Structure 1
């Protein structure tokens, strides 16, 4: 954990569940913000002030609010895409405000950082689950040798690491597991991660898109050029580093701008990182509820994200009706994207694309 907060956080209110102060991690976090107002809540999920506020409060809540809770469920979900399993999360929500973020449409109007303070229980559950799996019987697209656990499905752990030592503790757990790796995607540059000594047992997937798109859609995130530079530092620090091209948002000239991004990567990455580089490619998924939310605070983003002329309804695994690019066109565009990637970064293996 860094001593100072990143500029996108200025914690003034802390909503906390009753049990938080009985945990050492809860007391540590509260001590970092002695001037913040403490507001007791029954549940980190049910905070009307955050779910029903005005659209103008959206970014203010992300900057000024922290939620502390206790993780109740310790279930593991099979995945098969980014990871073999989705692990119990150590956090939920984010101080960043990507216009396409699915967490916002699941959690409510605002989704500031929510940290779970019972990190020892989460780490112990991870160790037990990995022990039960034993050796991975055969390679798959996730990893040829290890079981991989996604640790940050509903947030950004690089940013969480500026609030508490939860991420340091998670990296330490996987350092000691012979058959498992942790994994998370990020859009934030946090140099504190470089001191965690992961020893190749934590995979960081750097999320990237062309810089002009990111300036419009990746609100409050690290600039793309900084993310690319940080990839090399993370690799030198002992992380397995991959890349997450997500979401692929289509507009006129998309092949040229993505080609430029691939060229930037090729110029910036050291040879050792290039030889182990793998990618995920995720085409844009949107949602009517998120569309309405964005119209209230960031309508320019919707000019690119809300394209009914190119999109169709599709029910997700979770039962929600989302908008995705129409199937025949999506297949063609995805094939063109992969061909462009193979031409510019021939060493970059595509782990999965959808």
Structure 2
């Protein structure tokens, strides 16, 4: 069963008791920093962060889905460094500095690759990653023309497979990334988050890091955004992050179609209006992302959080789509989705005309 609201307020997000570590990662300065944060944790040497049989591929872990996220951590070395072109939310996807998450959103795609467990894996060769990013950004030169990612800068997504706000609880990787982009004149970092980590307010991003707070109606978030910061806390943090020098945007994601969904989103847009200052609204923009689900994740969720599948798995509304990596995803049927999207964008234009849409799908 998922954590209740009481669990969220009384249990720590991380209570690490076991750390699986590649030898090279454990011996590195960043690896030692992580190990020092949990000196009483059992350290288990592993040949690869991808080869941990008791975590990956062990179906029995479904019943311990949340417990593993709270109590286990993995240290690894990122072997392949590349900045993949994106063009939707960002211009490039940066090399990951972590993989997995301590939170347990029921629709998250990351567990689809890792099997039955996905605690945080910290990549400890942060100096190699930041060095690569600096060189890559410099090779791009000035951005030749505005696009939906940004009118001026090249934008790099830092958290494709994780949540940087939570990663910052584990190591200084995120602080190093923010510092790196602070020194790049033609590039900025970007990450989406569902967790309010106020320690990030001290990192002095100087406008070079974009934080995208993910939002959905609060009642739906209670069902689907397990172990995350409540929606009211995310809304309350936005002005503070702007004041601290971040560019703040929002992700309306995922948009899940249920009875009364438009009314619930109208209420959320009113809450966003009330929570944000004129300064925040002046630099705000949004992304709109409708739900995509997956047959394997559906089976996993049935083992630990079947209530979520009542709204996520809707065969009468969805159609299959094969992803680039060969997995079978499901999404809302194309014609109906176009209608849903039109309705949502109309609601947004009516209730929050001060919030432009960078992209929607």
For the pair 1:79 / 2:86, whether they are aligned, the reply is: yes
Tell me, in whole angstroms, the C-alpha distance in 1 between the residues paired with 2:54 and 2:326: 27
Tell me, in whole angstroms, the C-alpha distance in 1 between the residues paired with 2:311 and 2:79: 38
SS in 2 for 1:112: coil
- The match for 1:3 is none
Aligned mate of 1:40, from 34, 39, 45: 45
- The match for 1:154 is 161
* Aligned partners of 2:55 and 2:61 also within 8 Å: no
For the pair 1:236 / 2:207, whether they are aligned, the reply is: no
Tell me, in whole angstroms, the C-alpha distance in 2 between the residues paired with 1:88 and 1:331: 33
For the pair 1:21 / 2:26, whether they are aligned, the reply is: yes
- The match for 1:286 is 293
Deviation of residue 321 (structure 1)?
1.7
- The match for 2:3 is none
Tell me, in whole angstroms, the C-alpha distance in 1 between the residues paired with 2:74 and 2:167: 12
Deviation of residue 264 (structure 1)?
0.2
- The match for 1:190 is 197
Deviation of residue 8 (structure 1)?
1.3
For the pair 1:140 / 2:147, whether they are aligned, the reply is: yes
Tell me, in whole angstroms, the C-alpha distance in 1 between the residues paired with 2:61 and 2:309: 19
Tell me, in whole angstroms, the C-alpha distance in 2 between the residues paired with 1:230 and 1:168: 19
- The match for 1:338 is 345
SS in 2 for 1:27: helix
Tell me, in whole angstroms, the C-alpha distance in 1 between the residues paired with 2:213 and 2:82: 26
Tell me, in whole angstroms, the C-alpha distance in 2 between the residues paired with 1:50 and 1:22: 22
- The match for 2:4 is none
Tell me, in whole angstroms, the C-alpha distance in 2 between the residues paired with 1:193 and 1:138: 31
Tell me, in whole angstroms, the C-alpha distance in 2 between the residues paired with 1:275 and 1:315: 39
Tell me how many residue pairs correspond in the alignment.
349
SS in 2 for 1:229: helix
- The match for 1:96 is 103
Tell me, in whole angstroms, the C-alpha distance in 1 between the residues paired with 2:256 and 2:171: 33
- Of residues 266-275 and 314-323 in structure 1, the stretch that sits farther from structure 2 once superposed is 314-323
Tell me, in whole angstroms, the C-alpha distance in 2 between the residues paired with 1:108 and 1:86: 23
Q: TM-score, normalised by structure 2?
A: 0.96
Q: TM-score, normalised by structure 1?
A: 0.97
* Aligned partners of 2:212 and 2:251 also within 8 Å: yes
Tell me, in whole angstroms, the C-alpha distance in 2 between the residues paired with 1:187 and 1:54: 24
Deviation of residue 318 (structure 1)?
3.0
Ranges in structure 1 where 5+ consecutive residues have no aligned partner = 1-5
- The match for 1:59 is 66
Tell me, in whole angstroms, the C-alpha distance in 2 between the residues paired with 1:318 and 1:128: 28
SS in 1 for 2:110: helix
For the pair 1:226 / 2:233, whether they are aligned, the reply is: yes
Tell me, in whole angstroms, the C-alpha distance in 2 between the residues paired with 1:272 and 1:251: 34
Deviation of residue 49 (structure 1)?
0.9
- The match for 2:5 is none
* Aligned partners of 2:318 and 2:333 also within 8 Å: yes
Ranges in structure 2 where 5+ consecutive residues have no aligned partner = 1-10
Tell me, in whole angstroms, the C-alpha distance in 1 between the residues paired with 2:118 and 2:338: 33
Deviations 1:219-266 (A, max 9, x none): 000000000111111111000000001100000000110000000000
* Aligned partners of 2:105 and 2:224 also within 8 Å: yes
Tell me, in whole angstroms, the C-alpha distance in 2 between the residues paired with 1:21 and 1:288: 36
SS in 1 for 2:283: coil
SS in 2 for 1:34: coil
SS in 2 for 1:255: helix
Deviation of residue 57 (structure 1)?
1.4
